[in-house]
């Protein structure tokens, strides 16, 4: 089995558009505990991806993911560029090395999450995007092949992003705030959730 390029294209488009639509919310979350640029940065990166979408989706899946990653790296302009960029670069790299979708989804996602962790020198529990991506990975592993996998991933992502609110940031700009970062949802966790939900919604619509 493989992922048809039309499906891939529509998922990327939906995810990018959803992030762009969420930019004001991401910015307002980032103004509370960061430097207030997460929404505009992600919007710029996603617009760049949309601008190249035809060229991206004409590539084999592994190369297409790497192109998305590189585009984000080159255009986002904040730390989220290399972080999300590394996610997609690593996912593409995994697919270049004998991994296939959808059957190896958890493995591919794992490589991508590990790349984010390495790039940010961060672990789960530090109030970052990993606090959504790691729980989603766990659900992809434990619910693999289950008919309600997509629904479970959506629930996991939504619950995970809310759990970042009481966390104290120890990485990134929010760490300067120390205890004052407590009580705010992490903007990177929110943008990860937006991406996951958009892809899930796209898959549900095609199911």
Partner 1 sequence: MTDTVGIVIVSHSSDIAKGTADMVRQMVGSEVKVAFCGGNPDGGLGTSVPLIIDAINDAWSPKGVAVLVDLGGAETNSEMAVEMLEPARRDLVVVCNAPIVEGAVMAATEAAGGSSLAQVKAVAEELSAD
- Where on the chain is the footprint of partner 1 (CB under 8 A)? 35, 37, 40-41, 44, 73-83, 85-86, 119-120, 172-173
How many CB atoms neighbour CB 178 within 10 A? 11
Minimum distance, C-beta of residue 172 to partner 1, in the bound complex (Å) = 6
Nearer to partner 1, 154 or 173 (CB): 173
- Separation between Cα atoms, residue 129 and residue 193, nearest integer Å: 8
Nearer to partner 1, 30 or 107 (CB): 30
Minimum distance, C-beta of residue 88 to partner 1, in the bound complex (Å) = 13
Nearer to partner 1, 83 or 108 (CB): 83
In this structure, what token pair is assigned to residue 85? Answer: 């960029």
Local structure of residue 99 (DSSP, 8 states): -
- Closest by Cα among 73, 40, 22 to 189: 22
Minimum distance, C-beta of residue 82 to partner 1, in the bound complex (Å) = 4
Nearer to partner 1, 37 or 186 (CB): 37
Minimum distance, C-beta of residue 73 to partner 1, in the bound complex (Å) = 5
How many CB atoms neighbour CB 182 within 10 A? 15
CA 97 to chain centre: 21
Minimum distance, C-beta of residue 128 to partner 1, in the bound complex (Å) = 11
Nearer to partner 1, 34 or 202 (CB): 34
CB of 71 closer than 8 Å to CB of 49: yes
- Separation between Cα atoms, residue 199 and residue 20, nearest integer Å: 14
């Amino acid at each position: 089995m493989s992922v048809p390029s039309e499906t891939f294209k529509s998922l990327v488009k939906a995810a990018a558009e959803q992030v762009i639509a969420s930019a004001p919310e991401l910015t307002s979350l980032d103004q509370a505990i960061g430097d207030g640029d997460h929404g505009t940065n992600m919007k710029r990166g996603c617009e760049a991806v949309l601008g190249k979408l035809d060229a991206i989706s004409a590539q084999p899946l592994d190369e297409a993911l790497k192109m998305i990653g590189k585009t984000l790296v080159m255009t986002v302009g904040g730390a989220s560029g290399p972080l999300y960029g590394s996610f997609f670069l690593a996912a593409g790299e995994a697919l270049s090395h004998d991994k296939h979708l959808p059957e190896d989804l958890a493995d591919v996602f794992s490589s991508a999450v590990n790349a984010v962790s390495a790039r940010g020198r961060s672990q789960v529990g530090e109030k970052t995007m990993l606090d959504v991506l790691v729980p989603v990975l766990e659900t992809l592993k434990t619910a693999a092949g289950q008919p309600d996998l997509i629904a479970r991933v959506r629930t996991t992502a939504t619950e995970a992003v809310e759990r970042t609110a009481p966390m104290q940031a120890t990485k990134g700009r929010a760490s300067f705030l120390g205890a004052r970062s407590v009580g705010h949802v992490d903007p990177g966790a929110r943008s990860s959730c937006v991406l996951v939900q958009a892809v899930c919604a796209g898959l549900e619509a095609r199911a």
